[in-house]
Amino acid sequence: MTPRRDLKVRTKDGLRLHVEDWGDPLDDTAPLLCLSGLTRNTRDFRELAERHAPHRRVVTFDYRGRGRSDRDSNWRNYRPEVYLDDVFQVIAATNLHHFVVVGTSLGGLLTMGMGLLMPAAFKAAVINDIGPDFTPGGVERILAAIGEDKPQADWPDAMAHIASNFPPGSYPRADENTYRKLAETAFKAGDDGKLHFSWDTAIAQALVKGPPPGDLWPPFLSLKQKPLLLVRGETSDLLSAETAARMAERHPDLTEVCVRGTPHAPTLDEPEVELAIDEFLARIDS
């Protein structure tokens, strides 16, 4: 079995972040730092970690207010600048160097921010279904889904709830196992016997009441000197084909893989994505 160490890393303001450190810490192959989506957590990267940890180190963690990390009593701290500082604390605590970032959605945006703030720390990036421009309908759909806890009686109900959040017809390749894995990340058992969201719903307040993100093209272009793999769901309502094409036009070393029959965001265990990541990492390692 691949070794995994569960750690607690303190943020500058004293919160405890849940960190999972997979593989051999002395392996000199470029490690992976995995950054999840807005409400997601380390469970999204379990299969990826189990797949790659025999050959390289993999570090994942739950953002503040998600999964097994502490929740923040001040919703104003659920913003990118604070998340980036938390990322820096995890990097320092785990002694990561010259790594490859794998960023899904929010994690992809944080990767762009890292390109501005600490470009020498990482070698390359995999960005999953996010870009400098968002499709408005996707943002509205996500905000409507995350801001209020929706307790579920059991796992079949939780799976049905997850399935109902995707636009009709957008996920033809999903099966029962897909929704089970997504539900097991999105929900956790509560003391009342019901299943509750595994994130702090105050995250939505920060998005609604906080300042707009501004122009994200400069952060994206800060990655121009690094190899980039862009993963896009074919039916994504957050990253359009047009934005992906613009990203490819403006980045000299961008490879795109489109995941057929998949909305925001691909789970990264699709066969075509696994192959693309394997080939990308082989190039980085050579």
- The answer to the question of residue 142 being in a domain is no
Q: Which token pair is 135? A: 């499709």
- The answer to the question of residue 39 being in a domain is yes
- Portion of the chain with pLDDT greater than 70, in percent: 100
Q: Which DSSP category does 43 fall into?
A: G
Q: Would you say residue 89 has pLDDT above 80?
A: yes
Burial label, 174 (beta-carbon count in 10 A; 0-12, 13-18, 19+)? middle
Question: pTM of the entire structure?
Answer: 0.97
- The answer to the question of residue 176 being in a domain is no
Q: Would you say residue 26 has pLDDT above 70?
A: yes
- The answer to the question of residue 54 being in a domain is yes
- What pLDDT shows up at residue 1? 61
Burial label, 240 (beta-carbon count in 10 A; 0-12, 13-18, 19+)? middle
CATH, residue 43: 3.40.50.1820
Indicate the average pLDDT of the chain: 97
- What pLDDT shows up at residue 213? 86
Going by C-alpha positions, the residue among 98, 127, 117 that lies closest to residue 34 is 127
> What SS3 state is found at 170?
coil
- The residue range of the domain holding 75 is 4-135+202-285
- The answer to the question of residue 179 being in a domain is no
User: 48-86: b or e for each residue (b if 16 or more CB lie within 10 Å)?
Assistant: bbebbbeebbbbbbbbbbbbbbbebeebebbebebbbeb
Least confident range from 15-19, 23-27, 215-219, 229-233: namely 23-27
- The answer to the question of residue 271 being in a domain is yes
- The answer to the question of residue 245 being in a domain is yes
Cα 231 to the center of its chain, rounded Å: 12
Q: Is the peptide bond before 160 cis (omega within 30 degrees of 0)?
A: no
> What SS3 state is found at 5?
strand
Q: Which token pair is 31? A: 């490690």
What is the arithmetic mean of pLDDT over 61-70? 99
- The answer to the question of residue 242 being in a domain is yes
Count of structural domains within the chain: 1
Q: Would you say residue 2 has pLDDT above 80?
A: no
CB atoms within 10 A of CB 208: 9
Q: Kindly state the helix (H) or strand (E) to which residue 124 belongs, with its residue range.
A: strand 122-128
Q: Would you say residue 22 has pLDDT above 90?
A: yes
